[in-house]
Structure 1
C-alpha cells in the first residue's frame, strides 16, 4: 500500500444497510478502510456496490448503520460538508466551461482567491499530465483526457477521501488498461484514501490494495488481490475473480476425495465446508500426454479427453472432459516450440495439479 498522506483518513462502516421497501440493496455491511488505502468495491450489477459508494458520498441516506471518516460520524452530513472528491462514470464535466474552469469549479465554490486558484489548477493539470490544456474545451478532448480532467477536479481541493464510480467504463479496452496504471500511480503519489467501484475484476486486481467483493447486497469477502485470487472463500468469488473450474469432493477416510483418489493438499486436508469444491485455476494445471504423466508426482493427477482447443494469441485454451464426466478448462502459454507437441482434440491427456495450488471453496447453494 502507498504511504498515506498526512491528510488521508480511515473510513469505518458499521452495520450499514439500505432498504427500498422489500428490496435490500445493501444489508449489514461492516468493514474498515485504512488511511491512504486504495479499496475497490467489486461485484456484478445489482450487488450493492454503487449504493454503498453513494451512501459514503452522501447522495443516499442509509436505512441504518454508521459511516465514520477519521472517527467522525458523517451519516447526517450533506454531501458538500463531507469533504469528499467524486469521479462519476460519465465524468460530469461542464460542457460550457474550459478545462481550467472545470477543474477550478470546486475552488470557486470555496471562495478561494484567483491567484491561488490559477496556481492550483496549473499544478493539478501537471499532475494528470495535461499541462497547457487549461483553455481547451472539454468537447475537444479524448475520453482518456476527459477522465483526467474529472480526476483533477476531484482532487484539486485536497479532499479527505476520493470516490470513483466506474471511472473507466466508457473507455476502450487498451485505453482503460493504460488508465488503470496511471490512476494507480497517481494514487501512490498522493497517498489519498480512495474507494472505487467496478464490475471489472481485472481492473480491481490491477489497481487495488484490497478488494471488497459484493453479492446480493452483502459483503462476500474483503482481502488483498493475491488472497482473493489464491484463497477465495466461496465458489462465487472464485468464479468472479478470474477463471475457474470446480470438482465436487466427498469426505473419505483419508480426507477429501474425487473419483477414486484422495486429494493431496500442501497442508492438512481442510474439512470446514459442508459442500467442498476443488478449485482449478486454468493456468495452474499442467497438461501432458497420458504416457508422460508421472503417477507418483507430488500432486493430483486427473485423466480426461481433450474436447476443444481454442487459440487466443498469447495462450491456448483447452477444454478437457475428465473420466468422471466433469469439464475442466486448462490454459497453456503459447510457445512456438511447444505447439507441435501439444495434444489435439480427441487425445487422451493427464492433468496435474500441484499440491501447493490445491484449494477448496464452499459450493454455492
Structure 2
C-alpha cells in the first residue's frame, strides 16, 4: 500500500499537565498521524501521438517539491511562458478533452488521463513535462501512465495533505446532462450514460476511489466513440491521431476495435476515469460524492467553478490517520495494476 502517514507528537494542554503533576502521574503525550504529501520517486517517460492533433508527443513525469501540486510544463517553449498549473480556472472548455491555457496563451490538451493516473496513484506533487500542445494518448486509458508511475514508486514528503471536504450540495446542468457534488467521507464516483448504439446503451456505475479501486477498476478503460462521429470530428480537425488501438469504436451493436471490450461496461468506466482526472484540477484531493449523468469535461469543470464560487460549500481539512484510507490513491497495490501492452 502506497498511502504514507507519519507520527507527529502533540503535547497535551498545560492545564492537563499541571493536573498530572499534582497527582504525581507521568506525562503522557497524545499521538496523531498526519497523511504526508507525495511525489514520484524518480522521473518516468512516455511517448506516443496526440489523440486530436495526431502529432508525435513525449511526456515525462518528474518529482516536485511539497505544496507544488501538479504543474504541466511545455519544454518546447521559453521558461517565462511554459508552465500551466493543473487548475480548474485555467481550463478552456471543450466537449472532447480537457485543455489548459495560461495567461500567455500556452496550452496543453488532453490532460485528463494523466491527471486521473496521478490522482488515482495518490501523487500530490509532480511536474509533467510535455514537448508540445497535447499529451500522448497511448492506449486511450490511464493504465500505461499508472504502470510507469508505480514502477518508479511514491515518495513521502514532509508536509501533510490537505483535502477539500464538500459540505453542501452543488449542482450544474446543461440540457439533459447534469453533475453534482454532495458531502461524503470519501471520494465516491457515480456515473450514468445513455447512447443509441446498442454496444453502449444505458450504463451506470458507482465506485469508492479509496482502496486502490481506480487502479484496479477504472485505469485500463479506454476512450470511446461512435463510428458515425469519426468523420465529423476529423472534418473539424479532431481525432486525427485516433485509431482502433487507442479508442473503442462502436457501430450500432458492433465493437470495431480488435479484441473487443476490456470490461462489459468499459464506456461508463472511462467516463468515471475522465471525471476523476477533471476533478483533480481542484488542486487537492476531494472528499465528496460526485454524481454525473451524461456529463463531460466541460460540465465537470462547470461543477468545480460552481463549487469554488460557494465558499460555504466546502472547507480545507488537514488529513490525519483516520482519513488516510479514505483518500484517492490509498491502498494502491502493484499486483493490481492491469496488464496492458
Determine if the TM-score, normalized by the shorter chain, exceeds 0.5. no
Name which structure has the greater RCO, CA cutoff 8 Å, separation 6+. 2
Sort the TM-score into its range (normalised by shorter chain). Answer: under 0.3
TM-score, length-normalised on structure 1? 0.22
